Structure 1
Amino acid sequence: MKTQVVMAVAFASTLAVANPVVAQDRAGWPDNFTVGTASQGGTYFAYGAGWANFVAESLGVSGGAEITGGPMQNMALVHTGDLKFGLTTMGPARESMEGNSPIAPGMKMDNVCAMFPMYETPFSVTALTSSGITSISDIPDGATIGFGPAGSTSDTYFPRMMETLGVNFERRNGSWSDLGTQLQDGLIDVVAFAAGIPIPAVSQLEVQTDVNIIGMTDAEAKKVVDNFPVSEFIIPANTYQSLEKESRVVSMWNFAMANCDVPESLVYEITKLTMENNERMVSIHKAAQFSIPENYTKNKVLPWHKGAARWFNENGYTIEQSNIK
């Protein structure tokens, strides 16, 4: 899959950077780095591009974000070393590590290590108000549903969830921005989003037209939780203008990852920078309010990079040696 690179190059200097980080050991550090994100219009791209800029500015290494197909492709790119860093969701991470990735069937992508927790990805549905669709059960038989980029978390799990809930649909893939435009133009009936909130494409949509942001009933949420590696999640009412009350959905955790061969000192400094500057991270994207050290326990899939594990263990959190690679 061809990818578009969006580089945001930054160099640290005493004038440009307020609090530059000076690492004691830079042996083996690359001259530049790229973070695998996802499509434009989604949270991964906004979060990943902002985070890459923050790291580049603070550590004095040029870096930026790359548009990719999302978690599955990021796992492949980081495992092979084509990218040093990437963002992934725990479900696709597990499938990739076990050799069940549709990108490279049979390849166990086990040279990927966790760095830090990002946020939960809620699975939610958006339709135009004019469609009359106000619940999942309202989705008409044979409706065209946009599931995001091929191989994304949404595309991997949401179609299966819909089938479990008895929805019969036609599948459509594309970037979140493109699917939002198709929904607005009446070319598709529903978009099934899986992204950190607020999702840029949804926020843009509700500025331009009236939309319904659709949650799950208690019974629907329970059925999905019983069948998939997700947990229940509540989208707060103040997340979107279109929400009048909180919305019950399901969610899956996201983590930043690194190729396990990236120098320990670099991953240590990046983890330290990210975990100790949450206010700056939240200024990049509101979903980063959950990018806090306490959520390190949400990783039950990836081994920890030794550089990240060192920071957590030095700061009162416990990562056992058996979980470090």
Structure 2
Amino acid sequence: MKTQAVMAAALVSTLAVAGPVSAQDKSDWPGNFTVGTASQGGTYFAYGAGWANFVAENLGISGGAEITGGPMQNMALVHTGDLNFGLTTMGPARESMEGNSPLAPGMKMDNVCAMFPMYETPFSVTALTSSGIKSISDIPAGATIGFGPAGSTSDTYFPKMMETLGVDFERRNGSWSDLGGQLQDGLIDVVAFAAGVPIPAVSQLEVQTDVNIIGMTDEELKKITDSYPVSEFVIPASTYQSLEKDSRVVSMWNFAVANCDVSESLVYEMTKLTMENNDKMVSIHKAARTSIPENYTKNNVLPWHAGAARWFNENGYTIEADKIKQ
């Protein structure tokens, strides 16, 4: 697998916000860490790379973000220990935990533990204004739709959603940046994004050309929420220049995860740093507005890492013992 790592400096800089971590606390820490994200041009990469830098600067440990195929592949890489940390979505996490991952059919990926809530992933459709596509029902039969990297959240769920809504299409995979370029060049008709908003590739597109960011009708929302593990989500009009009003779509929650065998004290310090500095997280990516402790309840799939659970329980958020990986 060809990957690219984006490594962060291990120095505690003037941006540091956390208190010092004792040498004794670091005795079982790895020499460095890597976070599995997704393709460039997507929110996972921006969020994960920024978070890795933030942790490295404040905890004095070298770390970075790795480009991967997204949530499904991150579950596999973290489960096997190839990566210490990753970002995942609850749908792919459930499938992986139950042994239904297309990457490793039959393998129950049960050595992946939750750390903290990130944000919701909205499922939204973008087309060029010149295409005349203003709604999902406008997508012509046989249209080529880009669904993101193979095995990503979008690629796992969006084609099924489109079929449920009666759309006839040809499937295209690729990074969000590549698909955005293909859309702009007229090589594909639509991109079906599943990523935290604002999506960097969409923001870039609307600077360069006129686009339609397409929501769902009441009937479409009901069909999708009745059939998939998603809920209604509103993309505020202020998110993109191209939106004249709020856009109603569906979404799925994302969590940062760790291999369950990673040092408890390291995961505790990472969780503490993240949950106690939301302003810094929002400066990394606006989607982190919901990376707050209160959203820990959105995890109903993964066991909790003992280090993360310790921070939540110390700060008034109850995680029962049977939900914590021992």
Q: TM-score range by the shorter chain?
A: over 0.9
Q: Indicate if the aligned counterparts of 2:18 and 2:273 stay in contact, CA closer than 8 A.
A: no
C-alpha separation between the residues in 2 aligned to 1:22 and 1:146?
Answer: 45
Name the amino acid aligned to 1:317. Y
2:49 aligns to what? 49
Give TM-score, length-normalised by structure 2: 0.98
Give how far 1:218 is off. Answer: 0.7
SS at match of 2:8: coil
Q: In terms of mean alpha carbon deviation, does 162-171 or 23-32 score higher?
A: 23-32
Q: Note if 1:177 corresponds to 2:177.
A: yes
Give how far 1:66 is off. Answer: 0.1
1:143 aligns to what? 143
Q: Indicate if the aligned counterparts of 2:3 and 2:66 stay in contact, CA closer than 8 A.
A: yes
1:22 aligns to what? 21
1:119 aligns to what? 119
In the TM superposition, what whole-angstrom CA distance separates every residue of 1:226-251 from its partner, at most 9, and x where no partner exists?
00000000000000000000000000
C-alpha separation between the residues in 1 aligned to 2:185 and 2:10?
Answer: 39
1:237 aligns to what? 237
Name the amino acid aligned to 2:28. G
Q: Indicate if the aligned counterparts of 2:126 and 2:190 stay in contact, CA closer than 8 A.
A: yes
Q: Indicate if the aligned counterparts of 2:78 and 2:258 stay in contact, CA closer than 8 A.
A: yes
C-alpha separation between the residues in 2 aligned to 1:25 and 1:122?
Answer: 38
> Structure 2 stretches of 5 or more lacking a match?
none
Q: Indicate if the aligned counterparts of 1:27 and 1:263 stay in contact, CA closer than 8 A.
A: no
2:161 aligns to what? 161
C-alpha separation between the residues in 1 aligned to 2:15 and 2:199?
Answer: 31
Q: Indicate if the aligned counterparts of 1:145 and 1:192 stay in contact, CA closer than 8 A.
A: yes
1:75-90 alignment runs, 5 A limit: 75-90=75-90
Name the amino acid aligned to 1:271. T
In the TM superposition, what whole-angstrom CA distance separates every residue of 1:64-99 from its partner, at most 9, and x where no partner exists?
100000000000000000000000000000000101
C-alpha separation between the residues in 2 aligned to 1:188 and 1:316?
Answer: 49
1:283 aligns to what? 283
Give how far 1:199 is off. Answer: 0.1
C-alpha separation between the residues in 1 aligned to 2:40 and 2:210?
Answer: 22
In the TM superposition, what whole-angstrom CA distance separates every residue of 1:200-225 from its partner, at most 9, and x where no partner exists?
00000000000000000011011000
C-alpha separation between the residues in 2 aligned to 1:126 and 1:20?
Answer: 44
1:223 aligns to what? 223
C-alpha separation between the residues in 2 aligned to 1:217 and 1:19?
Answer: 45
C-alpha separation between the residues in 1 aligned to 2:308 and 2:249?
Answer: 31
Give how far 1:8 is off. Answer: 2.1
Give how far 1:6 is off. Answer: 1.7
Name the amino acid aligned to 1:160. K
2:209 aligns to what? 209
Name the amino acid aligned to 2:270. I
1:38 aligns to what? 38
> Structure 1 stretches of 5 or more lacking a match?
none
Q: Indicate if the aligned counterparts of 2:272 and 2:311 stay in contact, CA closer than 8 A.
A: yes
In the TM superposition, what whole-angstrom CA distance separates every residue of 1:149-204 from its partner, at most 9, and x where no partner exists?
00000000000000000000000000000000000000000000000000000000
Give how far 1:25 is off. Answer: 1.5
Number of aligned residues = 324
SS at match of 1:158: helix
C-alpha separation between the residues in 2 aligned to 1:12 and 1:105?
Answer: 42
Identity of aligned residues (%): 85
C-alpha separation between the residues in 2 aligned to 1:71 and 1:21?
Answer: 32
Give how far 1:2 is off. Answer: 2.1
C-alpha separation between the residues in 2 aligned to 1:77 and 1:97?
Answer: 13
C-alpha separation between the residues in 2 aligned to 1:237 and 1:168?
Answer: 29
Give how far 1:16 is off. Answer: 6.7
C-alpha separation between the residues in 2 aligned to 1:12 and 1:76?
Answer: 31
SS at match of 1:7: strand
C-alpha separation between the residues in 1 aligned to 2:18 and 2:258?
Answer: 24
C-alpha separation between the residues in 1 aligned to 2:253 and 2:277?
Answer: 20
Give how far 1:11 is off. Answer: 1.8
Give how far 1:276 is off. Answer: 0.1
1:187 aligns to what? 187
